[in-house]
Structure 1
Amino acid sequence: MYSRAETSRIRKEFWLAFGQYLKPIRSASGFRVNWPNYKTGVKDVYFRMKAERDFASVGIEICHSDVELQELFFEQFVQFKKLLEVEQEEEWSWQLHAENEIGQTISKIEKVLPGVNVMDQKDWPDIISFLKPRIIKLDAFWDNVKPGFEEF
């Protein structure tokens, strides 16, 4: 078992390594981007990457506190579902009104890699190989569809 401090240190090291690995890669628009802390530029829409003890995931979270607005955002993403799947070259999981780890109602669109552990450094290459192409393709997708979300 790891102490809280050691867990925090290992996670921080992973995200620093991931950030350094992706640092030379620019966004689809040609700008520098902080990949581990990607900013969508649209309030309440986040791109989340997670590396946990039993999985890694990448996805879109819609966190608007107004459930009806959250549904509107989700439906807007549904309109672009085919474009996302073509860009990613795979299907993603879609959940309207899921609960996040702190009990908030969110909606999410994600891809999960089960069976990896961020606490085990030998899994880092698999986690990075999973996250890297998907966040880059998610950025390319977002570059095309973002204008449709800026009017909300």
Structure 2
Amino acid sequence: MYSKQQASQVRQDFYTSFGLYMAPVVSADGSPQNWLNYKTGIRAVFIRMDTPNRGASIGLVLTHADRAERLAMFQKFEALRTVFSELVGADWAWEADTTNAIGQPISRIYTTLTGVSVLNKADWPALISFFKPALVALDEFWQLAKDQLEA
């Protein structure tokens, strides 16, 4: 069992390793990309990875404070759902109105991986194999959809 500080350090080590692993991978538009801090260019729209003690998730998170604005943006994503499913995958969960871990209202499109723990270094290859293709696919989708989402 890890203390909070030890768990935080292991997570930091994982993300440092993952960042180094992803560093040579370029964006779908050919430019370098900071995969751990992906800049969508649209306010309140983020690509987030999460590694609680058990499992992992990755997805698009909409954090607009105004519910109507957030749901309007989510509807724009839903209009692109077919393209999203073709590029990223059809098995992603779509939640228009939910809350994050600290109770803030969000919308999200995400997928999860179970049976792994970021605290177990033996699971890191599985986590990397989960995150890398999802990030690359989300980037490909983003390059195609960004202009439509900004409109």
TM-score tier by shorter-chain length is over 0.9
Q: Which amino acid aligns with 1:133?
A: P
- The secondary structure found in structure 2 opposite 1:149 is helix
1:118 aligns with 2:118: yes
Which ranges of 4 or more aligned residues in structure 1 deviate by more than 6 Å? none
**For 1:84-103, what aligned pairs fall within 5 Å after superposition?**
84-103=84-103
Give the TM-score of the pair, scaled to structure 1.
Answer: 0.96
Deviations 1:78-131 (A, max 9, x none): 001111110024321000111101110000000101111000000000010001
Residue 136 of structure 2 is matched in structure 1 by 136
Give the TM-score of the pair, scaled to structure 2.
Answer: 0.97
Deviations 1:32-75 (A, max 9, x none): 11111111110000000112221111100000000000010000
Q: Contact 1:51–1:127 (CA<8 Å) still a contact in 2?
A: no
Q: Which amino acid aligns with 1:102?
A: I
Q: Which amino acid aligns with 1:66?
A: D
Q: Which amino acid aligns with 1:56?
A: A
**RMSD of Structure 2 on Structure 1 (CA):** 0.9
Percent identical among aligned pairs is 38
**For 1:1-152, what aligned pairs fall within 5 Å after superposition?**
1-151=1-151
Pairs aligned (count) = 151
Unaligned stretches of 5+ residues in structure 2: none
